[in-house]
Amino acid sequence: MSTQRQQPETETESAETTSEEQRDEARQSAERRERKRVEAEERAAAEAERYHLKVFRYDPEVEGKQEPRFDSFHVPYETGMTVLDALIYARDEFDASLTFRHSCRQAICGSDALFINGSQRLGCQTQLSDLDQPVRVEPLPHADVVKDLVVDMEHFYDQMEAVEPYFQTSERPEGELEEQRQSRENREKIKKSTRCIWCGACMSSCNIAAGDNEYLGPAAINKAYRFAMDEREGEDMKQQRLEIIEQEHGVWRCQTQFSCTEVCPKDIPLTEHIQELKREAVKSNLKFW
């Protein structure tokens, strides 16, 4: 009797086990389908969020690359990605020979100034999401190209050095340990001019600099302004600086096109500073007998 009663229980347990296995298999199958669906959506999204970069290429030392051209790169987009981020991705993932300058990635070093979609910008400061595609990346205009996006900055540095871009004074405090004080008002006056990061964007945008290789340029004149207007240098040194910038290829070559002010990544009112130096130069030459 007991044997007959156990047989139905065994059959029932077997049926329940089979049913559970079927449910597990159905659940696993559904999970696999869901994973495939999500992966397909992610792939589609990734393809949709790829940014098309057209990057200027030129290498005078490699045969076959001596003719300037544009290479295309399709870079997967991530929120907050900058042009510099995209270039770094293209170099690391697609073409290790892609050459460009960069350093701090915080708009301080000024080394990654580029010509992006027709305007001088810092690569690290320019969001991809703000640009129309394809994003066209070129070296700074009006400068000799060394390789790809790297230009020769020697002339720019020479112009900066021509205005003696360092603090000089003959009027020192009497006390050996006494500091040279500057008024709050004077500091506010020159504050914006001190922001220059020597990126060269303003020089590249200037039509006068493009046609006159001896023109000091907006960056150098702004640097002269920073020191000429600093009250701690004294009138004698201010006069010396004005003599430097009022030469034939100095402030008088500026035609107030405001292109330098428009492209400055640090929002320095370059054109305004140049015009103020013009006024100072005129006043310094006025004589009343």
The reply to whether 131 and 90 lie within a common domain is: yes
pLDDT of 3: 47
The reply to whether 158 and 100 lie within a common domain is: no
pTM of structure: 0.79
Question: Would you say residue 99 lies in a domain?
Answer: yes
What CATH number is given to the structural domain containing 102? 3.10.20.30
Structural domain boundaries, residue 244: 153-169+181-285
The reply to whether 162 and 144 lie within a common domain is: no
d(CA 96, CA 99): 8
What CATH number is given to the structural domain containing 248? 1.10.1060.10
The reply to whether 141 and 218 lie within a common domain is: no
pLDDT of 8: 55
The reply to whether 262 and 160 lie within a common domain is: yes
Q: Is 148 left (phi over 0), alpha (psi -120 to 50) or beta?
A: left
pLDDT reading at 22 higher than 90: no
Tens of pLDDT, residues 152-162: 999 999 999 99
The reply to whether 127 and 73 lie within a common domain is: yes
Question: Would you say residue 94 lies in a domain?
Answer: yes
Run of H or E including 5:
helix 2-48
- 113: closest CA among 264, 273, 217? 264
The reply to whether 165 and 95 lie within a common domain is: no
The reply to whether 107 and 163 lie within a common domain is: no
The reply to whether 137 and 242 lie within a common domain is: no
Q: Is 130 helix (H, G, I), strand (E, B) or coil?
A: helix
Question: Would you say residue 204 lies in a domain?
Answer: yes
Tens of pLDDT, residues 249-270: 999 999 999 999 999 999 999 9
Q: Which stretch of 40-44, 93-97, 196-200 has the lowest confidence by average pLDDT?
A: 40-44
Question: Could you tell me the end-to-end alpha-carbon distance of the chain, in angstroms, rounded to an integer?
Answer: 140
- 193: closest CA among 160, 217, 219, 167? 219
The reply to whether 124 and 220 lie within a common domain is: no
The reply to whether 138 and 161 lie within a common domain is: no
pLDDT reading at 48 higher than 70: no
The reply to whether 255 and 157 lie within a common domain is: yes
Q: How many domains does the chain have?
A: 2
pLDDT of 205: 97
Q: What average pLDDT score do residues 44-66 get?
A: 85
